[in-house]
Structure 1
Protein backbone atom coordinates (compact mmCIF):
# COMPACT_ATOMS: atom_id res chain seq x y z
CA UNK A 1 0.00 0.00 0.00
CA UNK A 2 1.26 3.49 -0.87
CA UNK A 3 1.61 6.35 1.59
CA UNK A 4 -1.37 8.69 1.43
CA UNK A 5 -0.70 11.60 -0.92
CA UNK A 6 -4.23 13.00 -1.04
CA UNK A 7 -7.98 12.62 -0.66
CA UNK A 8 -10.71 12.60 -3.27
CA UNK A 9 -13.48 14.73 -1.78
CA UNK A 10 -16.98 14.02 -3.04
CA UNK A 11 -20.53 15.13 -2.21
CA UNK A 12 -22.01 12.45 0.04
CA UNK A 13 -25.52 13.92 -0.35
CA UNK A 14 -25.50 13.05 -4.07
CA UNK A 15 -26.83 9.53 -4.67
CA UNK A 16 -24.70 8.94 -7.76
CA UNK A 17 -21.56 10.26 -6.08
CA UNK A 18 -22.30 8.24 -2.95
CA UNK A 19 -22.58 4.99 -4.91
CA UNK A 20 -19.91 5.59 -7.58
CA UNK A 21 -16.97 7.38 -5.96
CA UNK A 22 -16.36 4.87 -3.11
CA UNK A 23 -16.10 2.16 -5.79
CA UNK A 24 -12.99 3.97 -6.97
CA UNK A 25 -11.52 3.35 -3.52
CA UNK A 26 -9.44 0.24 -4.22
CA UNK A 27 -8.19 1.67 -7.52
CA UNK A 28 -7.04 4.99 -6.07
CA UNK A 29 -5.91 3.75 -2.64
CA UNK A 30 -3.24 1.67 -4.33
CA UNK A 31 -1.95 4.98 -5.70
CA UNK A 32 -1.96 6.72 -2.32
CA UNK A 33 -5.33 8.47 -2.61
CA UNK A 34 -8.12 8.07 -0.06
CA UNK A 35 -11.82 8.69 -0.76
CA UNK A 36 -13.48 11.07 1.72
CA UNK A 37 -16.94 12.72 1.79
CA UNK A 38 -16.86 16.53 1.67
CA UNK A 39 -19.19 16.51 4.65
CA UNK A 40 -16.71 14.70 6.94
CA UNK A 41 -15.48 16.63 10.01
CA UNK A 42 -11.83 16.28 8.89
CA UNK A 43 -12.55 18.11 5.63
CA UNK A 44 -14.56 20.85 7.34
CA UNK A 45 -11.74 21.63 9.77
CA UNK A 46 -8.99 21.49 7.13
CA UNK A 47 -10.57 23.59 4.36
CA UNK A 48 -11.50 27.23 4.62
CA UNK A 49 -13.59 27.25 1.44
CA UNK A 50 -17.37 27.66 1.98
CA UNK A 51 -19.27 24.35 1.66
CA UNK A 52 -21.41 25.67 -1.22
CA UNK A 53 -18.25 26.30 -3.25
CA UNK A 54 -16.97 22.81 -2.46
CA UNK A 55 -20.21 21.18 -3.58
CA UNK A 56 -19.91 22.34 -7.19
CA UNK A 57 -17.12 19.86 -8.05
CA UNK A 58 -15.24 16.76 -7.02
CA UNK A 59 -11.90 17.73 -5.44
CA UNK A 60 -8.54 16.08 -4.93
CA UNK A 61 -6.83 17.56 -1.88
CA UNK A 62 -3.16 16.67 -1.61
CA UNK A 63 -1.37 16.32 1.72
CA UNK A 64 0.79 19.36 0.84
CA UNK A 65 -2.35 21.54 0.71
CA UNK A 66 -2.63 21.77 -3.09
CA UNK A 67 -6.04 20.94 -4.58
CA UNK A 68 -7.36 20.19 -8.04
CA UNK A 69 -11.03 20.01 -8.91
CA UNK A 70 -13.57 18.96 -11.49
CA UNK A 71 -12.42 17.18 -14.64
CA UNK A 72 -8.77 17.59 -13.60
CA UNK A 73 -9.37 15.07 -10.80
CA UNK A 74 -10.44 12.46 -13.35
CA UNK A 75 -7.49 13.31 -15.59
CA UNK A 76 -5.13 12.93 -12.64
CA UNK A 77 -6.49 9.45 -11.92
CA UNK A 78 -6.60 8.36 -15.58
CA UNK A 79 -2.98 9.40 -16.04
CA UNK A 80 -1.92 7.05 -13.21
CA UNK A 81 -3.87 3.91 -14.14
CA UNK A 82 -2.26 2.12 -17.07
CA UNK A 83 -5.50 0.96 -18.69
CA UNK A 84 -7.03 4.46 -18.41
CA UNK A 85 -4.07 6.27 -20.00
CA UNK A 86 -5.67 6.18 -23.50
CA UNK A 87 -8.72 7.99 -22.07
CA UNK A 88 -6.43 10.48 -20.38
CA UNK A 89 -4.68 11.20 -23.67
CA UNK A 90 -8.00 11.64 -25.47
CA UNK A 91 -9.26 13.96 -22.72
CA UNK A 92 -6.27 16.25 -23.24
CA UNK A 93 -6.54 16.67 -27.01
CA UNK A 94 -7.70 20.19 -27.95
CA UNK A 95 -11.28 19.50 -29.10
CA UNK A 96 -11.85 16.46 -26.91
CA UNK A 97 -10.63 18.36 -23.84
CA UNK A 98 -13.50 20.79 -24.32
CA UNK A 99 -15.97 17.92 -24.82
CA UNK A 100 -14.71 16.14 -21.68
CA UNK A 101 -14.90 19.34 -19.61
CA UNK A 102 -18.38 20.14 -20.96
CA UNK A 103 -19.61 16.60 -20.21
CA UNK A 104 -18.20 16.76 -16.69
CA UNK A 105 -19.82 20.15 -16.05
CA UNK A 106 -23.23 19.05 -17.39
CA UNK A 107 -23.14 15.89 -15.29
CA UNK A 108 -21.93 17.68 -12.15
CA UNK A 109 -24.60 20.36 -12.49
CA UNK A 110 -27.35 17.74 -12.89
CA UNK A 111 -26.10 15.00 -10.57
CA UNK A 112 -29.04 15.31 -8.15
CA UNK A 113 -31.54 14.93 -11.00
CA UNK A 114 -29.59 11.97 -12.39
CA UNK A 115 -29.47 10.38 -8.93
CA UNK A 116 -33.22 10.81 -8.53
CA UNK A 117 -33.95 9.41 -12.01
CA UNK A 118 -31.73 6.39 -11.30
CA UNK A 119 -33.25 5.98 -7.82
CA UNK A 120 -29.87 6.37 -6.13
CA UNK A 121 -30.52 7.67 -2.60
CA UNK A 122 -28.35 10.42 -1.20
CA UNK A 123 -27.61 11.08 2.45
Structure 2
Protein backbone atom coordinates (compact mmCIF):
# COMPACT_ATOMS: atom_id res chain seq x y z
CA UNK A 1 0.00 0.00 0.00
CA UNK A 2 1.45 3.37 -1.03
CA UNK A 3 1.15 6.41 1.16
CA UNK A 4 -0.84 9.34 -0.27
CA UNK A 5 1.44 12.34 0.27
CA UNK A 6 -0.27 15.72 0.38
CA UNK A 7 1.48 18.90 -0.70
CA UNK A 8 -0.06 21.95 0.95
CA UNK A 9 0.18 25.26 -0.91
CA UNK A 10 -0.23 28.06 1.62
CA UNK A 11 0.35 31.81 1.94
CA UNK A 12 3.50 32.33 4.01
CA UNK A 13 2.70 36.05 4.31
CA UNK A 14 -0.40 35.16 6.35
CA UNK A 15 0.51 34.88 10.03
CA UNK A 16 -2.49 32.69 10.90
CA UNK A 17 -1.80 30.45 7.90
CA UNK A 18 1.86 30.05 8.86
CA UNK A 19 0.89 29.22 12.43
CA UNK A 20 -1.55 26.57 11.19
CA UNK A 21 1.19 25.06 9.00
CA UNK A 22 3.56 24.90 11.99
CA UNK A 23 0.85 23.10 13.99
CA UNK A 24 0.25 20.68 11.13
CA UNK A 25 4.00 20.17 10.85
CA UNK A 26 4.07 19.14 14.51
CA UNK A 27 1.39 16.52 13.73
CA UNK A 28 3.14 15.25 10.60
CA UNK A 29 4.59 12.14 12.28
CA UNK A 30 4.21 9.91 9.23
CA UNK A 31 5.62 12.55 6.86
CA UNK A 32 2.44 12.60 4.78
CA UNK A 33 2.47 16.38 4.45
CA UNK A 34 4.77 18.60 2.44
CA UNK A 35 4.54 22.38 2.70
CA UNK A 36 5.01 24.93 -0.08
CA UNK A 37 4.88 28.65 0.64
CA UNK A 38 3.46 30.19 -2.53
CA UNK A 39 4.98 33.55 -1.60
CA UNK A 40 8.56 32.27 -1.92
CA UNK A 41 10.54 33.79 -4.80
CA UNK A 42 10.59 31.53 -7.83
CA UNK A 43 7.41 29.64 -6.96
CA UNK A 44 5.58 28.72 -10.19
CA UNK A 45 2.11 27.13 -10.08
CA UNK A 46 2.12 26.16 -13.76
CA UNK A 47 2.52 22.42 -13.10
CA UNK A 48 -0.59 22.46 -10.90
CA UNK A 49 -2.90 23.73 -13.63
CA UNK A 50 -4.14 26.66 -11.53
CA UNK A 51 -3.17 30.30 -11.45
CA UNK A 52 -1.28 32.02 -8.68
CA UNK A 53 -4.45 34.07 -8.01
CA UNK A 54 -6.39 30.82 -7.43
CA UNK A 55 -3.74 29.53 -5.02
CA UNK A 56 -3.65 32.87 -3.21
CA UNK A 57 -7.45 32.95 -2.87
CA UNK A 58 -7.63 29.78 -0.76
CA UNK A 59 -5.54 26.85 0.43
CA UNK A 60 -4.84 24.09 -2.07
CA UNK A 61 -3.56 20.55 -1.64
CA UNK A 62 -2.16 18.29 -4.32
CA UNK A 63 -2.26 14.58 -3.68
CA UNK A 64 0.09 11.89 -4.91
CA UNK A 65 -3.10 9.96 -5.63
CA UNK A 66 -6.13 12.03 -6.59
CA UNK A 67 -7.26 15.47 -7.72
CA UNK A 68 -6.12 18.92 -6.56
CA UNK A 69 -8.26 19.98 -3.59
CA UNK A 70 -9.06 23.46 -2.30
CA UNK A 71 -10.80 25.13 0.61
CA UNK A 72 -12.61 22.90 3.07
CA UNK A 73 -11.95 19.80 0.96
CA UNK A 74 -8.22 20.51 1.34
CA UNK A 75 -8.55 20.80 5.12
CA UNK A 76 -10.55 17.57 5.31
CA UNK A 77 -7.77 15.70 3.49
CA UNK A 78 -5.09 17.35 5.66
CA UNK A 79 -6.83 16.52 8.94
CA UNK A 80 -7.35 12.91 7.85
CA UNK A 81 -3.65 12.64 6.99
CA UNK A 82 -2.61 13.74 10.49
CA UNK A 83 -5.17 11.54 12.27
CA UNK A 84 -7.50 14.37 13.27
CA UNK A 85 -10.52 12.39 12.11
CA UNK A 86 -12.89 14.33 14.35
CA UNK A 87 -11.95 17.62 12.65
CA UNK A 88 -12.37 16.04 9.22
CA UNK A 89 -15.74 14.65 10.29
CA UNK A 90 -16.99 18.02 11.56
CA UNK A 91 -15.98 19.72 8.31
CA UNK A 92 -17.52 16.92 6.22
CA UNK A 93 -21.04 16.99 7.67
CA UNK A 94 -23.25 17.32 4.58
CA UNK A 95 -25.69 19.83 5.99
CA UNK A 96 -23.05 22.24 7.31
CA UNK A 97 -20.12 21.69 4.94
CA UNK A 98 -21.35 24.52 2.67
CA UNK A 99 -21.41 26.81 5.72
CA UNK A 100 -17.82 25.85 6.61
CA UNK A 101 -16.77 26.57 3.02
CA UNK A 102 -18.53 29.96 3.08
CA UNK A 103 -16.94 30.87 6.42
CA UNK A 104 -13.50 29.71 5.28
CA UNK A 105 -13.68 31.78 2.08
CA UNK A 106 -14.61 34.86 4.16
CA UNK A 107 -11.64 34.17 6.43
CA UNK A 108 -9.29 33.63 3.47
CA UNK A 109 -10.37 36.89 1.86
CA UNK A 110 -9.70 38.78 5.12
CA UNK A 111 -6.78 36.78 6.53
CA UNK A 112 -4.34 39.69 6.71
CA UNK A 113 -6.79 41.94 8.55
CA UNK A 114 -7.75 39.13 10.94
CA UNK A 115 -4.06 38.44 11.61
CA UNK A 116 -3.52 42.12 12.45
CA UNK A 117 -6.58 42.16 14.72
CA UNK A 118 -5.08 39.24 16.62
CA UNK A 119 -1.80 41.12 17.00
CA UNK A 120 0.11 38.97 14.52
CA UNK A 121 2.69 40.36 12.11
CA UNK A 122 1.59 40.17 8.51
CA UNK A 123 4.21 39.52 5.86
CA UNK A 124 6.92 38.67 8.39
CA UNK A 125 7.87 35.61 6.30
CA UNK A 126 7.97 33.05 9.08
CA UNK A 127 9.21 29.58 8.28
CA UNK A 128 7.72 26.33 9.55
CA UNK A 129 10.00 26.43 12.60
CA UNK A 130 8.50 29.79 13.62
CA UNK A 131 11.59 31.84 12.75
CA UNK A 132 10.59 35.15 11.19
CA UNK A 133 12.56 37.70 9.26
Specify the TM-score bucket, using the shorter chain as the normaliser.
0.7 to 0.9
> Which residues of structure 2 form unaligned runs of 5+?
124-133
Compute the displacement of 1:48 (Å). 4.8
The two structures have a TM-score, normalised by structure 1, of: 0.78
- Alignment of 1:110 with 2:110, yes or no, is yes
Q: CA RMSD in A?
A: 2.7
Gaps in structure 1 of 5+ consecutive residues = none
Encode CA deviations 1:58-81: one digit per residue, 9 max, x unaligned. 111224683111111111122344
Alignment check: 8 A CA contact 2:4 2:65 kept: no
CA distance in 2, matches of 1:59, 1:28: 17
The ranges of structure 1 where at least 4 consecutive aligned residues each deviate by more than 6 angstroms after the TM superposition are none
Per the alignment, residue 120 of structure 1 pairs with 120
Over 3 Å counting, the alpha-carbon distance change for 1:29 and 1:49 in structure 2 is farther
Deviation string 1:81-117 (CA, Å, 9 cap, x unpaired) is 44x3233223222222122212211211111110111
Q: Does 1:18 pair with 2:28?
A: no
What is the rounded CA distance, in whole Å, between the counterparts of 2:42 and 2:3 in structure 1?
Answer: 18
Which position in structure 1 is the counterpart of 2:52?
51
- Normalised TM-score (structure 2): 0.73
Alignment match, 2:131: none
Q: Cα offset for 1:30?
A: 2.0
* Greater percentage in helix: 1
